[in-house]
């Protein structure tokens, strides 16, 4: 359901990335004008090449740690490396992207009186002792570990968003994203779905960290983007008050073990791969599953509709074409 009827000019930071490019496609398809801002650290122009020359699309190469002066109606702040390999490559810059990026985008939204969306993460829950995770759970996060640049950077960004909401009555939307997969994932991002698929398609053994009993809940990208848009398009409150700020969990409540995921990928690709077990990374969560009751209640009964096997088939097809072209 769309609540905002008029065409909007929308800024998407991190728009050349996996999630950002899918979001832009949806916004363009419904008639909006979109400005994509990305420094191309983990994003790639390949994800947005099909929009080159489109009259309602503009690309700006920009790092959100620096201010951006632009006129827009809404902002989706998705800029930040999201895979451990990428965000641990330059942890200081990762923290800057989350914190300085939030400050710059919130400052822009305040000046423009624009609604702003923050792509937060289930990593704010750390290695949870509550299962499944509700939005009221405050988390179990190591503030000084190798993953902290991302976990604590996103937690600080949430703090900034809610302080701007309280202090400046800014209309914010904060979504906590759980594991998402689909076409346009980076083939070398180190996340389990892309890792397993690429290894299987290349005829390599599947490398699995830990004993494989740790769990995740995987949401197909189209379902997640639908949640983004429903959340962002909710009307403001009475008398022009800001609407529901969140945080709201967005992800699949269907939990599976990492070993089960590896076995499904092997089956769907027809690979003859063996599973090789490697040490578990530091602070890697043992279980992750969202409680999506709030999303169902407030986002017109939103819930994922694409089952894991169907989503994996689509993702495998994408990576098969990508690898066959040597990209």
User: How many whole angstroms separate alpha carbon 319 and alpha carbon 215?
Assistant: 24
Total tally of structural domains belonging to the chain: 1
Average pLDDT over residues 54-66: 97
291 and 249 Cβ atoms separated by less than 8 Å? yes
186 and 305 Cβ atoms separated by less than 8 Å? no
| Length, in residues, of the chain | 327
Whether residue 166 is contained in a domain is answered as yes
User: Mean pLDDT across the chain, nearest whole number?
Assistant: 92
Whether residue 130 is contained in a domain is answered as yes
Whether residue 150 is contained in a domain is answered as yes
- Burial letters 137-175, b for 16+ CB under 10 A, else e: bebebeeeeebbbbbbbbbbbbebbbebbeeeebbbbbb
89 has pLDDT over 80:
no
219 and 139 Cβ atoms separated by less than 8 Å? no
Residue 100 φ then ψ, to 5°: -65, -35
145 has pLDDT over 60:
yes
Whether residue 1 is contained in a domain is answered as no
DSSP state string for 4-50: --S--EEEEETTTSHHHHHHHHHHHHTT-EEEEEE--SS--GGGTGG
Domain that holds residue 74: 9-183+219-252+289-305
What CATH number does the domain containing 60 carry? 3.40.50.720
Average pLDDT over residues 158-162: 98
Whether residue 26 is contained in a domain is answered as yes
The pTM (predicted TM-score) of the whole model is: 0.93
Q: pLDDT tens for residues 200-246?
A: 999 999 999 889 999 999 999 999 999 999 999 998 766 666 678 99
Give me the active site residues, please. 150
Whether residue 37 is contained in a domain is answered as yes
220 and 181 Cβ atoms separated by less than 8 Å? yes
Whether residue 19 is contained in a domain is answered as yes
Q: Of all helices (H) and strands (E), which one includes residue 327?
A: none
2 has pLDDT over 70:
no
Look at residue 199 in the predicted model and tell me its pLDDT.
95
Look at residue 280 in the predicted model and tell me its pLDDT.
83
Q: pLDDT tens for residues 243-261?
A: 789 999 999 999 999 999 9
Whether residue 283 is contained in a domain is answered as no
């Amino acid at each position: 359901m769309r609540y905002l009827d008029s065409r909007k000019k929308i800024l998407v930071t991190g728009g050349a990335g996996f999630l950002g490019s899918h979001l832009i496609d949806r916004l363009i398809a419904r008639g909006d004008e979109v400005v994509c801002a990305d420094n191309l650290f983990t994003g790639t122009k390949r994800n947005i090449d099909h929009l080159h020359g489109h009259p309602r699309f503009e690309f700006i190469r920009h790092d959100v740690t620096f201010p951006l002066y632009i006129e827009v109606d809404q902002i989706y702040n998705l800029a930040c490396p999201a895979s451990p390999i990428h965000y641990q490559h330059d942890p200081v810059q990762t923290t800057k992207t989350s914190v300085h990026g939030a400050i710059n985008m919130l400052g822009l939204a305040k000046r423009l009186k624009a609604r702003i969306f923050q792509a937060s993460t289930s990593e704010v829950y750390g290695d949870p002792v509550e299962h499944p995770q509700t939005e009221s759970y405050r988390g179990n996060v190591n503030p000084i570990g190798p993953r902290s640049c991302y976990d604590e950077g996103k937690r600080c960004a949430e703090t900034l968003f809610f302080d701007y909401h309280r202090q400046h009555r800014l209309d914010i939307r904060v979504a906590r994203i759980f594991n998402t997969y689909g076409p346009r994932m980076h083939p070398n991002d180190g996340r389990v779905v892309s890792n397993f698929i690429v290894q299987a398609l290349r005829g390599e053994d599947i490398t699995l960290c830990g004993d494989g009993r740790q769990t995740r809940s995987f949401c197909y990208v189209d379902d997640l983007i639908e949640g983004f848009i429903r959340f962002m398009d909710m009307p403001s409150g009475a008398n022009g008050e800001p609407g529901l700020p969140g945080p709201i969990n967005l992800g699949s409540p269907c939990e599976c073990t990492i070993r089960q995921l590896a076995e499904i990928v092997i089956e769907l690709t027809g690979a003859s791969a063996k599973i090789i077990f490697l040490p578990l990374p530091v602070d890697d969560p043992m279980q992750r599953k969202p409680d999506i009751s709030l999303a169902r209640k407030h986002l017109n009964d939103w819930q994922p509709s694409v089952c894991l096997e169907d989503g994996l088939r689509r993702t495998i097809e994408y990576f098969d074409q990508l690898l066959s072209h040597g990209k």
